[in-house]
Amino acid sequence: MRSQGATQPAQSARPADGEAPLPELYADLGQANIQALWTQAEDLMPRSPAPRAVPWLWRWDTVLALAGRAGQAVPIGRGGERRALALANPGLAGLPFATGTLWGAIQYLNPRESAPAHRHSSAAIRFVLQGQGVWTTVDGEACPMARGDLVLTPSMTWHEHHSGSDEPMAWFDGLDLPLVNALDASFFEPAAAGYLDAGRAAPARSRSAALYAHPGLVPSAAPATGRHSPLLVYRREHTARALAEMAEATGQGDAELRFADPVHGRDALPTMRCAMRRLAAGTRTPTTRSVGSSIIVVFAGRGTSVIDGTAFRWGPGDVLAVPSWCAVDHEPAETAELFVLSDAPVLEALRLDRTEVLNQPQAVTGAWSGG
């Protein structure tokens, strides 16, 4: 039971013999909208993070089939202006959030469809799982999207999606929306009709990639804003090459790269970390737990992850939720690539970050069998 709003004083608040009875005090506190600390339940300040979200897995086949049905049945334009299916963590009592701080969804665009421009204070990322020939316009810059590409739509940037493709397109959307809502910092604005010229075809490359996607080289003139990465699209060809060369150079079965602001070196967005982790067949990662939550999108490969004792078997397109402070380890059955979205930059900025490496592989006490 949550403590907020509790009206019953705790046992220890009873008056000792000879003391004045307290009910009157509690009644008067309640009248004044004041609560005594000693009447609160212990979960007011847990000894370690106690997220309501639970470890979970959404299977790609299930989500894609439902997205395809939504694509047939529901036009874009219904609330939110996007055909996005939110991955709703069953621990969050019906909220459409994957973890306590992160929104995760699969968005589906039919051939030649468009999703209109809007902007919001929540930042978003798109990580493409299927298709090509779609572009997202971010503050007027057309960004091509194909499988394995990462596109940023930072806070308050205008964005719209267009398909020039003959195939449906599906991508993973990640937003910091639950966090922004918890901070009461949400703003949303639809664009005026005809706001942007969408262009007629997916561009070969974005303007920001022309300026910022060359290794170790950045324009001498400062970018317009330091609030987020000036590079808005991270193409699959670069990610694939970087991961392969890192794995080869280090000889490590576990290689992880972070999508960084090429000018400042910090995370591409101030509220969310995006990373790509390559796990070679035969690797078993150490068991770790971190403060802050993450969403893992399986880009390629198969394997098993154990999250707080529950074993989840995964394959391409599956999405996992890892709530705060849950122990996690991964064991790929074949070489795998995982896209990892987390709220780590927020925890680090607030100096609340903490990671523990647990020595023992964790005991498996359950296996996932739903989703």
Q: What is the Cα–Cα distance from 171 to 165, expressed in whole angstroms?
A: 14
Residue entry with tokens 């004045």: 20
Q: Looking at residue 307, what DSSP letter applies?
A: E
Name which of 97 and 314 has its Cβ closer to ligand 1HN: 97
* In the complex, least distance from residue 118 CB atom to ligand 1HN, rounded to whole angstroms: 6
- Burial letters 178-211, b for 16+ CB under 10 A, else e: bbbeeeeeeeeeeeeeebbebeeebbeebebbeb
Q: Is 104 exposed, middle or buried (0-12, 13-18, 19+ CB in 10 A)?
A: buried
* In the complex, least distance from residue 128 CB atom to ligand 1HN, rounded to whole angstroms: 12
* In the complex, least distance from residue 188 CB atom to ligand 1HN, rounded to whole angstroms: 7
> Are the beta carbons of 123 and 173 closer than 8 angstroms?
no
* In the complex, least distance from residue 35 CB atom to ligand 1HN, rounded to whole angstroms: 34
* In the complex, least distance from residue 53 CB atom to ligand 1HN, rounded to whole angstroms: 18
- Terminal alpha carbon distance of the chain: 27
Q: What is the Cα–Cα distance from 152 to 149, expressed in whole angstroms?
A: 10
Task: Using CB under 6 A, list all residues that contact ligand 1HN.
Answer: 80, 82, 84, 103, 105, 107, 120, 124, 159, 173, 175, 177
> Are the beta carbons of 274 and 341 closer than 8 angstroms?
yes
* In the complex, least distance from residue 85 CB atom to ligand 1HN, rounded to whole angstroms: 10
Name which of 153 and 342 has its Cβ closer to ligand 1HN: 153
Return the amino acid letter for 354. Answer: R
Q: Within a 10 A sphere around the Cβ of 78, how many other Cβ atoms?
A: 10
* In the complex, least distance from residue 167 CB atom to ligand 1HN, rounded to whole angstroms: 18
Residue entry with tokens 């009206």: 7
Name which of 57 and 177 has its Cβ closer to ligand 1HN: 177
Name which of 106 and 322 has its Cβ closer to ligand 1HN: 106
* In the complex, least distance from residue 97 CB atom to ligand 1HN, rounded to whole angstroms: 10
Instruction: Show Cβ contacts of residue 334 under 8 Å, excluding neighbours closer than 6 positions.
Output: 281, 301, 302, 303
Residue 311 tokens read as: 């074993």
Name which of 152 and 340 has its Cβ closer to ligand 1HN: 152
Name which of 86 and 338 has its Cβ closer to ligand 1HN: 86
Q: What is the Cα–Cα distance from 255 to 359, expressed in whole angstroms?
A: 20
Q: Within a 10 A sphere around the Cβ of 150, how many other Cβ atoms?
A: 27
Closest C-alpha among 53, 165, 56, 188 to residue 109: 165
Name which of 80 and 219 has its Cβ closer to ligand 1HN: 80
Name which of 105 and 320 has its Cβ closer to ligand 1HN: 105
* In the complex, least distance from residue 170 CB atom to ligand 1HN, rounded to whole angstroms: 12
Name which of 173 and 267 has its Cβ closer to ligand 1HN: 173
Q: What is the Cα–Cα distance from 178 to 260, expressed in whole angstroms?
A: 23
